Amino acid sequence: MIGSPVDYDKKFKENLPIQLAKLDWDLKKYLKLLPGKEVLDLGIGQGRNSIPLAKLGYNITGVDFSYKNLERCKELCPELNLVRADIRNFEIEKDKYDLISSRCVLHFFHKEDMYKIIDNIKKNLKINGLVYIYVFSLEDPKLQKLTNLNTFEVLGNNILHNVINDTFVSFFTKNEILDLFSDFKTISISEEYFLDQGNNTPYYSGIIKYTGQKITN
Ligand SMILES: C[S@@+](CC[C@H](N)C(=O)[O-])C[C@H]1O[C@@H](n2cnc3c(N)ncnc32)[C@H](O)[C@@H]1O
């Protein structure tokens, strides 16, 4: 593993408004393709997609490194099965999950670590199961902004290293994501640029969303 996990507990404010748990429309659209009800959420955060899925009757396992996010998830939805772990060394049970989701998480790694997580997902997802990921694109203004800060070292291949806390942030192209899943059937891939208003200070984000289906073992 390269560097440290991002520390969401430091960012967490006790009076943070509870984030609205709202299922992403593009994930919702493809639920009918799932072979069953077992869902793994890598980096569950405050349960944005997983809480609505649990309410729809899916069995959720949520993994996160942040104690505070896990506590908040438990408060909001006691039926979630929660695990505190670093997803870089979390062993995914083979052929158990019908959906493995990692929303807004896989860009917080050096790409070498991200590729290993993707391998772990691909190898262990159930056949016909879906993967759903959401990562920063090259259009995200943070790429330029962080590149200009002297606390970030620019490593090439759109990977930045925060030299203060030894964390990484990576930015992706659509083709990079499609290459990583070249053995999967693409169900949907899209790139978006939008004003994110879910925080105290709104900011622009550039993201790539990918949904794919495992078609061979
Ligand atoms: C931006 S939040 C996204 C949360 C949720 N998936 C969503 O879309 O709202 C990123 C989450 O990933 C978790 N995370 C980051 N690095 C992690 C790691 N190495 N292992 C486990 N969780 C991690 C953070 O603690 C945080 O809860």
Beta carbons within 10 angstroms of residue 164's beta carbon:
8
Name, in order, each residue with C-beta under 8 angstroms of 202's C-beta and a sequence gap of 6 or more. 195, 196
Ordered domains of the chain (ranges, CATH): 22-135+172-194+209-214 (3.40.50.150)
- The predicted structure's pLDDT at residue 15: 56
pLDDT tier, 198 (very low <50, low <70, confident <90, very high otherwise): confident
The sheet that has 99-103: what strands, in order across it? 81-84, 59-64, 38-42, 99-103, 130-136, 203-214, 184-196
pLDDT at 118 over 70: yes
Q: Is 42 helix (H, G, I), strand (E, B) or coil?
A: strand
Q: Which residue, judged by its Cα, is nearest atom 2 of ligand 1?
A: 45
- For 41-74, the pLDDT digits (tens) are 999 999 999 999 999 999 999 999 999 999 999 9
Report which ligand 1 atom has the smallest distance to the Cα of 8: 25
Nearest Cα residue to atom 4 of ligand 1:
45
Which pLDDT value is given to residue 21?
A: 76
Q: For ligand 1, what atom is nearest to the CA of residue 41?
A: 6
Residue with more model confidence, 77 or 217? 77
Distance CA 46, CA 139 (A): 26
Atom 18 (ligand 1) nearest CA: 86
Atom 13 of ligand 1: nearest residue by CA position: 43
**Which comes out higher in pLDDT, residue 18 or 138?**
138
pLDDT digits (tens, 9 = 90+) for 75-113: 999 999 999 999 999 999 999 999 999 999 999 999 999
All residues at 6 or more sequence positions from 163 whose CB lies less than 8 Å from its CB, including other chains: 151, 152, 153
Specify the pLDDT at position 57. Answer: 97
Give the integer Cα–Cα distance in Å for 27 and 37: 14
- Which ligand 1 atom is nearest residue 7's CA? 25
Whole-number percent of the chain with pLDDT over 90: 88
Return the pLDDT at 17. 57
What does residue 52 show for φ and ψ, rounded to 5 degrees? -60, -35
79 contact partners, CB below 8 Å, separation of at least 6: 54, 60
* CA separation for the pair 186, 79 (Å, rounded): 31
